[in-house]
Amino acid sequence: MDRRSFLATGAMSSAAVISAAATAAATDAAAPRTRARSRAWQIGNPPSIGNLQLITRETPRPIRGEVLVRVVASSINARDRGIVGGFFPIGALKAAIPLSEGAGEIVELGADVSGVKLGDRVTSCHFPAWVDGRWDPAVYERDIGNTLDGWLTEYAVLPASGLVVLPEVISYESAATLASSGVTAWHALFEIARLRPGQTVLTLGTGGVSTIGLQLAKAAGARVVVTSSRDEKLARMRELGADLTVNYRKDAAWGTRVADMTGGGVDVVLENVGRPTLDESMNACAPGACIIMIGTGPMPKELPKMPGLYQKNLLLKAISNGSRRMFADLLAAMAAARLEPVIDKTFTFSEAIAAFREMEAGDHIGKILIKHA
Ligand SMILES: NC(=O)c1ccc[n+]([C@@H]2O[C@H](COP(=O)([O-])OP(=O)(O)OC[C@H]3O[C@@H](n4cnc5c(N)ncnc54)[C@H](OP(=O)(O)O)[C@@H]3O)[C@@H](O)[C@H]2O)c1
């Protein structure tokens, strides 16, 4: 949508709610005081899915280094469920508005913003302070949807430092699903494991990280093994390109089974569950394999015994999402490969509670999308 038609659209969810002066130029001291109103979902008190509150508020104004984005779509991650439910361990509910993933159009610039302009189609990494380079836990101080307000709003104020402009062929809907699960899978496969064609990847489950992990690994020429609790989900993963599948409910020793099926084990594991499945993941590994710890699943009753850690010289590496540079690389690769993330179900903005309930039910494969406009 260009700026003129954006300004011409109707009431609450349009830029007509913001003054033309404010959208026409970077915000300055002369900008009008009165802002039109728009809708946002707020984390409830006490926090729970059922307690999410749909509010109408004055559309926020971007300050120095920020932009205002008209949100087109957003998406839910496992962590967002924890944040909305009040059980995510980091951040202590500093954000009022949830969701770490989304995409939209820049409709207003704060002062001193460079590298983007009005009308740009953008998304953002959820750690906007992690532009490139090594991980620093301090980036959690500015974590979109956790310690900073997130995407579950008609208009989001976002730090310009985390923005990535969308390649032309990437839709808002696709881009809105990638900041957490996509960037994490990219980081694991290509920054840590340095995946090469012909290698074998094991990815656990059929959720957001696993499904985009399957798609990226296949696009890179890898053989991919997927585990799931449900045969029908495994059938869908085979349609998406999985070479081998195992139902972990039916086969408790699924790791050994994966090693047998692959003729000696896998080279890379996307450990999307965490410590509860680590031992079986290790049983699935070939010598020299790399296990990337992504899932933050609960502590198991017994500590992992880590079979084969020394004997097979396994590499165990935890990661936390990824940098803005990684996100730009991911989008460029997806554009080149014409890759579209798997969106299982789509909800409207008003149906956000139902979208969270769907995530909670765990029936989805890939992603659950919320369309704002
Ligand atoms: N470290 C990071 O930066 C990072 C980034 C993103 C996400 N995460 C974490 O990664 C995990 C997955 O996130 P997500 O967004 O992909 O969640 P999701 O969409 O809710 O998917 C979770 C999946 O886990 C699978 N699962 C559960 N128990 C399993 C088991 N014992 N064995 C194999 N699979 C099992 C389920 O697969 P089936 O239904 O097919 O059985 C389910 O589809 C979460 O713990 C999340 O917090 C971490």
**Ligand 1 proximity of 206 Cβ (cutoff 6 Å):** yes
18-32, 43-57, 173-187, 319-333: which range is least confident on average?
18-32
**Ligand 1 proximity of 247 Cβ (cutoff 6 Å):** no
Which atom of ligand 1 is least distant from the CA of 229?
41
3-state helix, strand, coil in the chain (%, to 5): 30, 25, 45
**Ligand 1 proximity of 229 Cβ (cutoff 6 Å):** yes
Cα separation, 194 vs 269, whole angstroms? 12
Cα separation, 174 vs 165, whole angstroms? 13
**Ligand 1 proximity of 233 Cβ (cutoff 6 Å):** yes
For the chain, what percent of residues have pLDDT higher than 70? Answer: 90
What's the average model confidence in pLDDT over 72-101? 87
List, for residues 14-26, the tens digit of each pLDDT value. 333 333 334 434 4
Query: Domain boundaries in the chain?
Result: 3-180+322-371, 182-318
Which atom of ligand 1 is least distant from the CA of 321?
3
pLDDT at 324 exceeding the cut of 80: yes
What's the average model confidence in pLDDT over 285-300? 94
Which atom of ligand 1 is least distant from the CA of 368?
19
Q: What are residue 285's DSSP bridge partners?
A: 266
Give pTM, 2 decimals.
0.92
CA 129 to chain centre: 16
**Ligand 1 proximity of 78 Cβ (cutoff 6 Å):** yes
pLDDT at 46 exceeding the cut of 70: yes
Please tell me the distance between residue 207's alpha carbon and the centre of ligand 1 in angstroms: 6
Give 103's contacts (C-beta < 8 A, 6+ positions apart).
Answer: 71, 72, 73, 74, 121, 122, 123, 166, 172, 173, 175, 176
For a mutational test of ligand 1's pocket, the pick from 75, 76, 77, i.e. the residue with the most ligand atoms closer than 8 A to its C-beta, is 77
> Could you tell me which residue, 242 or 23, shows the higher pLDDT?
242
Q: Where are the alpha helices (DSSP H) in 35-144?
A: 78-85
Q: What are residue 73's DSSP bridge partners?
A: 103, 371
**Ligand 1 proximity of 362 Cβ (cutoff 6 Å):** yes
Kind of pairing between the strands at 37-42 and 53-58: antiparallel
Which atom of ligand 1 is least distant from the CA of 319?
1
What's the average model confidence in pLDDT over 231-235? 98
Residue 268 tokens, joined: 């890379």
**Ligand 1 proximity of 296 Cβ (cutoff 6 Å):** yes
Q: What pLDDT does residue 20 have?
A: 34
Q: What pLDDT does residue 94 have?
A: 74
Q: What pLDDT does residue 321 have?
A: 97
- Looking at domain 182-318, its CATH superfamily turns out to be NAD(P)-binding Rossmann-like Domain (3.40.50.720)
What's the average model confidence in pLDDT over 261-286? 97
Which atom of ligand 1 is least distant from the CA of 293?
1
* CATH level 3 topology of 3-180+322-371: Quinone Oxidoreductase; Chain A, domain 1 (3.90.180)
Cα separation, 40 vs 15, whole angstroms? 15
Q: What pLDDT does residue 93 have?
A: 63
What's the average model confidence in pLDDT over 16-42? 60
